[in-house]
Amino acid sequence: MDLGGKNVVYLGGFGGIGQKCVQELLQRQVKALAIFELAASDDILAEWKNKNPNTDIFYQKMDITKKSDIEAAYKATAERFGHFDVVVNGSGLMNDRLIDLTIEINLLGVINSTLTALEYMDKAKGGKGGVIVNISSVAGLQPTAIMAIYSAAKTGVTTFTRAMANPFYYARSGVGFITICPGFTDTELLENIGSKMTFTFETPMLALYNKVKRQTADVCAKNLIKAIETAENGAVLMLELGEIHEVNIPNLWKPQMED
Ligand SMILES: NC(=O)c1ccc[n+]([C@@H]2O[C@H](COP(=O)([O-])OP(=O)(O)OC[C@H]3O[C@@H](n4cnc5c(N)ncnc54)[C@H](O)[C@@H]3O)[C@@H](O)[C@H]2O)c1
């Protein structure tokens, strides 16, 4: 998809990866950009507006754990932009001590945001189609014991997004789905992992995790935007240390049919 002239919604646009993605989107001259975030970041917003007078940039306060916030944010965006072509679900929290919140933000929030966005984008409901990009994680590709709750939530995001990409749905709605799985990326999310692990006791995994190579948010964002431009519906893409790897997850269960 050529992003120039498109209307984009970015959830988590003031976060570490989010800010860099927004900068990439602005460079591509998107027509309009809605940022759904927990709190305003007035200085960043003012700078983006100043430097990009041709893009309609607007901030919408949204706590992704509140369905009413999600619904209000998309409604306000549809009223302002007319339609939107791209949604990036990029909010997130890594803190396994906060079990409910981890599931609410990382999984339930992504599901509610996706289904609400679809109401506006679905061609079968009068929308124009487009693409929804859900940010999972490498912890959403394999069990990650040090952050078992986060890993469960992100695995949910991977599976949910792949299910939404079913060709029957795609043919009907015109909305494609991409799953993005970044490797370790240097942002606030990874700060103090030791105090956010699943258990309070010491584990040998912590020392290992502290040694894992990290990519910068900028490198991750450049590949994330490239992925939106090039990926096919249903793609699961691991963004690791500056490279994009397509992941093929096999179907293990082959249902036996009655005659
Ligand atoms: N940093 C990494 O190593 C890494 C690796 C894989 C996946 N990810 C994922 O990438 C995405 C971006 O993470 P990041 O590393 O930039 O972290 P970050 O902490 O810098 O950004 C997270 C964003 O989510 C927003 N957010 C948190 N709670 C929210 C809520 N209740 N309602 C609305 N917004 C909320 C924050 O305001 C922030 O903008 C997340 O989905 C994260 O899980 C990050």
* All domains in the chain, ordered by first residue: 7-245 (3.40.50.720)
Residues with CB under 6 A from ligand 1: 12, 14-18, 37-38, 62-65, 90-93, 105, 135, 137, 182, 184-185, 187-190
Which residues are known catalytic residues?
150
How confident is the model at residue 35, as a pLDDT?
98
Ligand 1 atom 42: residue of nearest CA: 92
How confident is the model at residue 256, as a pLDDT?
96
Contact yes or no for 228/1 (Cβ under 8 A): yes
Helix boundaries (H) for the chain: 16-27, 42-51, 67-81, 99-103, 109-121, 148-164, 167-173, 204-211, 217-230
For the four alpha carbons of 114, 67, 62 and 58, in that order, the dihedral sign comes to positive
Distance 17 CA to ligand 1 centre (A): 8
The SS3 of residue 188 is helix
Mean pLDDT, each 10-residue run in order, the chain (259 residues): 97 98 98 97 97 97 98 98 98 98 98 98 98 98 98 99 98 98 97 96 93 97 98 98 97 95
Distance 91 CA to ligand 1 centre (A): 4
Distance 254 CA to ligand 1 centre (A): 35
